[in-house]
A and B are shown apart, each in its own frame.
Chain A
Amino acid sequence: MSTTPVKDFLSDFGDLVRFMMRFFNRFWRRPFEGRELLRQMDEVGSKSFLLTSVTGLSIGIVMAMQSRGTLIRFGAEAVLPSMLALSIVKEIGPVITALVLAGRLGAGIGAEIGSMRVTEQIDALEVAALKPFHFLVVTRVLACMIMFPILTLWTDSIAMFGGYIESLIASGIDYRIFISTAFESLRFSDVIIDTGKTAIFGFIVAIVSCYLGFHVRGGTREVGQAAMRAVVGSSLLILLADVVIVRLSLLIFGDVGS
């Protein structure tokens, strides 16, 4: 065999890009699987609700606890709510939420579609003229793109609530002061852009997982590998995409306070 890992990687990446193009070529065409889209939104949304709530609460409390000591040392404890809001809304909330969801949904989607492939269920859809790409891929990708920003807003809110609870216990801060301090440094565009970018993270998780599931060959071992690769691949791509999006948003909208 003369193929190298680099060649394999480029070949896989090329196939993934073609799969993405297929999505953009198909998602606006009939048939529209509205009911399946709603079912997938429920699968992504309501079933991730507890997970993102716990994640948000823990992020908020831990960040407040960790930052308080440092801020006190510099006599800047008053900026804690503001610092929490900026870091949670602009970066920690979106990225942590996307990574947590990549773990849950990437593995789930990769394994589910992979199992359907090896048990010929996708072929069964194909021969019945039921357009499996629309039914399985388009619905999952759109569901993730819609639900990731909503879950991120929820996680951000719970994280801020966690930060407030920690601050209340540690310094007895009034909630009105906490809220006004927290949001005075945030711009509306920060919330829109940094929450909106999770739609791209949702796209990445769903398209990578669907792609790997759709192309499983073999049996249960390969299905497991596809699920694992879906989590690893989508997590890495989320981190890379974040760097690009942050760089672009800084170029376009400028830094905080500018």
Chain B
Amino acid sequence: MATFPELELSRRGILASGAATVAVSGLPQDDAQAAPSQTVKPVSTARVSFTVNGTPQKLELDTRTTLLDALREHLQLTGTKKGCDQGQCGACTVIVDGRRINSCLSLAVMHEGDSITTVEGLGTPDKLHPMQAAFIRHDGYQCGYCTPGQICSAVAVLDEIKANIPSHVSADLNTPARLSGDELRERMSGNICRCGAYSNIIEAISDVAGGAA
């Protein structure tokens, strides 16, 4: 049978990680046995009021609830997506008081009085936001899972350039921030697209911004 180096490597990787899993699963037995006797801290709740897409909301939440889970599970605004849930993928990007953030890395109760915009608040199926229309026109997605985060991020990126916020690739810190393909690629690096629609995403954003990438 012919062997392929890549296959051999990945088989070894799988074997190694399998062994590691077996090794560690034997470890925490003491903890498991001790668990029933531990005092379980009761769940804490807190009240929070904020505005989502123009609608005032009042919620009483387990303090552990992230803004992402509050939007999806409590307000049924499921446009915002949960990808990695640890701030690495950007699928959960929403705009809070004009700034894009990772809603997975923010506690809902910390948003008292804030104004939150999700993809549902940017446009509607009948009246798309120009960025949504551009993503369709330029095929800026394949599976679409990262798209709400990409679109929220892209809308905020154009505002950041207008507000003269520099980026890692800005050549001169002391001249106004400019729009270019390099700038957009750098500024959008917190939004991962597993399908790899990046070049079309940059085309779509450039189209809205009125410049060529």
* A and B pair up: no
Interface residues of A (CB under 8 A from B): none
